[in-house]
Amino acid sequence: MVDALLSLAVTAADHGWRRPEVNAGLRLSIKGGRHPLVEQSLPAGVFVANDLELDPEQDQIVILTGPNMAGKSTYLRQAAVIVLLAQCGSFVPADSAVVGLADRIFTRVGAHDDITAGMSTFMVEMTETANILNHATRSSLVILDEVGRGTSTYDGLSIAQAVVEHLHDSPKLGCRTLFATHYHELTALSERLTRVVNQRVEVLEDGETVRFLHRVVPGGADRSYGIHVAALAGLPSGVIARARQVLAELERQRPLEPPELQLGLPIELAPDPLRKELEDLEPDSLSPLEALQKLYQLRAKLSP
């Protein structure tokens, strides 16, 4: 015990950690929080510290958006590490911290499969998420990173939204939650779920290049910059150029965010004149020739 306490004390003194205020409440307030391992792997003064506010009464769920490599996962992990250190009796890597006691810290982070159990990456992800939803309480801290990414876009998006809604609405939950996602559509939930707030990791875009600022600010991101990250990783320029062409074509043909898919918001679709005309038809009263003519008329109306 003396060895452990001495190690915590030396680490706190060497790296500028501060004594947190730990109380029986549920508010989590971190100023200038840092990830201790990531910070030590970088040159001195390079790590960008960030604040965090979580409170079951106000800012219960933070939906965090931003591109890959911008620092979303680091932000999530450092919150969990700071809470864990504080409840161990340690000083914490932050300028200051108020930590309301958490009964448990639940995490769904990273992607891996379990071949021996015959479980795919997505099945592992869903099993871990189910465990969280079934066992978390109002006093828990929940860290969710990219829930739903292991399946098709709309399936994953639907699951992710349902998870956020359950964490917000279930009387057994209401727990402090950090939810990182690439599904920008989820930011619409803050408009109807009172304790959901949007935050994003800032990116500075300059033409075809981006610079990750690693700074968490209010608001939601509207792009993932996946192709920019692929270019940074060293994919051949021809592949990057082709990817941009394909992306532009996909966005032109079938945008991923059509108005009718603004999730979680009530939608009133304009009446479809073709549908109305079809509903008014009485097939039994048409001769074969009249039916064929009507078919050609309807088809002509579909042409641009």
Taking CA atoms, 94 is separated from 34, 59, 111, 156, 168, in Å, by: 6, 20, 28, 34, 28
> Which residues have C-beta within 8 Å of that of residue 255, sequence separation ≥ 6?
none
CA 150/CA 126 separation, integer angstroms: 9
CA 193/CA 164 separation, integer angstroms: 9
DSSP state of 2: H
CA 217/CA 271 separation, integer angstroms: 40
Exposure on the CB side of residue 288, measured as CA atoms within 13 A: 0
Which tens digits make up the pLDDT trace of 69-104? 889 999 999 999 999 999 999 999 999 999 999 999
CA 142/CA 135 separation, integer angstroms: 11
Nearest to 86 by CA among 61, 62, 52: 52
Query: 254 falls in which pLDDT band (50, 70, 90)?
Result: low
CA 256/CA 221 separation, integer angstroms: 15
Query: 241 falls in which pLDDT band (50, 70, 90)?
Result: very high
Q: At how many degrees (to 10) do helices 121-135 and 153-169 cross?
A: 10
Nearest to 262 by CA among 197, 191, 195, 201: 191
Q: To the nearest whole number, what is the mean pLDDT of the chain?
A: 87
> Which residues have C-beta within 8 Å of that of residue 93, sequence separation ≥ 6?
15, 16, 17, 33, 34, 35, 36, 39, 78, 81, 82, 85
Class at the top of the CATH hierarchy for domain 2-224? alpha beta
Query: 278 falls in which pLDDT band (50, 70, 90)?
Result: confident
Query: 284 falls in which pLDDT band (50, 70, 90)?
Result: confident
* Domain range list for the chain: 2-224, 273-302
How many whole angstroms from its chain centre is CA 156?
Answer: 11
Which tens digits make up the pLDDT trace of 133-166? 999 999 999 999 999 887 888 899 999 999 999 9
| % pLDDT > 70, the chain | 90
Structure tokens at 74: 């680091």
Question: Looking at residues 153-182, what average pLDDT do you find?
Answer: 94
Question: Looking at residues 43-55, what average pLDDT do you find?
Answer: 95
Which tens digits make up the pLDDT trace of 156-165? 999 999 999 9
